[in-house]
Structure 1
């Protein structure tokens, strides 16, 4: 009887160890564990607004009191169907506007004004420059210039609920914004290791972000995203265990429970 109790105690200790280790991993699910409401202050990194780069596509719309005059500076939206070309209406309310693709030199060819260097500039900077040039050249007296992004995107991959490629529709996009657009991390996402892949100066750089630490998130150089960034969420150990055929490997809880049960049964047979 004593030997039976010893074997049962051994079995319970093994089971308890396995479940305690599983409970410990739940601490890795909570975001910003080092922040306390009303107590924590984290200095944000310098704001990195989205700037236009070669191969980006932007739309530029010029408006004023004289629609016929400003139509000279707005590209018409042209559709092609089965070899035929048609142009939409020319009024400001009914016409579309196609975009300008930034060339390898960082320039666009703007009507009347000619080549304009836009690489490295923000939307408002481009709009202000074109407005000033139109007024300075006495082309439009009261222009209102609007610049919008057209093909700027970031990609979110890995353990998120809705991975995909998402358009940038604002001047500042954070890694938290991107993860929100992707439906947040799944329960299998590794909060300690979110990677941001970015091409800078011809080099592929990889930044790591620990979502469990608010200070690490907000001070990361990759907190503000740039166009073409790739955010990758690595799977945690639970997901790794499930990646086998039946999840029954040496890293799985079920494996250790089965092993403990087997050892207990063997011990009982031996002691009896």
Structure 2
């Protein structure tokens, strides 16, 4: 009887540990509690930051009128003659945002675009162009170097370019192949730098659906996500080559316990 009680207790402990571990795995476990609040969130729109590369085009019904505002990069066609260039296949010149948030735009001069959204920057340029153009031009601003990085306990760590200038935490993890089983869901670190160079490290809890309401749910350009490894991974790294031995011993013990339980029940 004592052996049976011991086996029952051991199995209970194993089942409890299994349930506890599972609770730490699923994302957004309390999603039903914030469903209403999430429906009223404003649409995210990225803001232009220092060191962003902007591709800006100005279009009118008469291409010759808007041509001075669309600088094309010149490419050499003759290596021997360095003074010969062509623009038969032009590439639009990109504008690097300075540390003060400014770009040097043709004819218009220096424009303060740092801190503006894409739409706000387009409105600013369109307003400045009204002095030079009779018709209202079509202005398009795109961020060419919108990148985020995902490191730590993910399947494919790396730096990823975001073409639509909008990415949230879950999408970033999906790009990196999601977390491994060793990743701590309630302690994902977000490293962010603001427009004046101040850095902050924020701990994100992906088990909590309230993250959707957080200002850190959507990533900014150059954000870094670091998935912290759990204690099991840390122990495995210390054990090294003996890890397989411990796994083998554990499997044997579980088999023996199951066999004794079947014999004595």
Q: TM-score range by the shorter chain?
A: 0.7 to 0.9
- In the aligned structure 2, how far is the partner of 1:231 from the partner of 1:220? 15
When structure 1 is superposed on structure 2, of 112-121 and 22-31 the one drifting more is: 22-31
* Match in the other structure for 1:30: 26
Match of 2:123 among 119, 128, 133: 128
Structure 1 residue 53 displacement after superposition: 1.7
When structure 1 is superposed on structure 2, of 71-80 and 144-153 the one drifting more is: 71-80
Per the alignment, do residues 80 and 255 of structure 1 end up closer, same or farther by CA in structure 2, a change over 3 Å counting?
A: farther
* Match in the other structure for 2:151: 157
Structure 1 residue 159 displacement after superposition: 1.8
1:96 aligns with 2:95: no
Residues 162-173 of structure 1 mapped to structure 2, 5 A cutoff: 162-173=156-167
* Match in the other structure for 2:55: 59
Spell out, residue by residue over 1:127-173, the C-alpha distance to the aligned partner (whole angstroms, 9 max, x if none).
Answer: 111112112x1335231110000112111111222221122333543
Spell out, residue by residue over 1:39-96, the C-alpha distance to the aligned partner (whole angstroms, 9 max, x if none).
Answer: 843447666632112211101001111112211111213335868474432xxxx532
Structure 1 residue 108 displacement after superposition: 0.9
- In the aligned structure 2, how far is the partner of 1:105 from the partner of 1:140? 31
Indicate conservation of the 8 Å contact 1:153/1:166, yes or no.
yes
Structure 1 residue 27 displacement after superposition: 2.4
- In the aligned structure 2, how far is the partner of 1:207 from the partner of 1:255? 39
1:231 aligns with 2:225: yes
Per the alignment, do residues 116 and 259 of structure 1 end up closer, same or farther by CA in structure 2, a change over 3 Å counting?
A: same
- In the aligned structure 1, how far is the partner of 2:197 from the partner of 2:102? 20
1:197 aligns with 2:196: no
* Match in the other structure for 2:263: none
- In the aligned structure 1, how far is the partner of 2:16 from the partner of 2:86? 68
Structure 1 residue 178 displacement after superposition: 1.6
- In the aligned structure 2, how far is the partner of 1:69 from the partner of 1:95? 17
Match of 2:72 among 49, 72, 76: 76
Indicate conservation of the 8 Å contact 1:11/1:260, yes or no.
no
Spell out, residue by residue over 1:174-224, the C-alpha distance to the aligned partner (whole angstroms, 9 max, x if none).
Answer: 222222222322233221211111123443211111111112x11333112
Which gives a bigger RCO, structure 1 or 2 (Cα 8 Å, sep 6+)?
Answer: 1
Matched residue count = 249
Q: Which runs of 5+ in 1 are unaligned?
A: 263-272
Indicate conservation of the 8 Å contact 2:187/2:205, yes or no.
yes
Identify, as 1 or 2, the structure richer in helix.
Answer: 2
Indicate conservation of the 8 Å contact 1:77/1:87, yes or no.
no
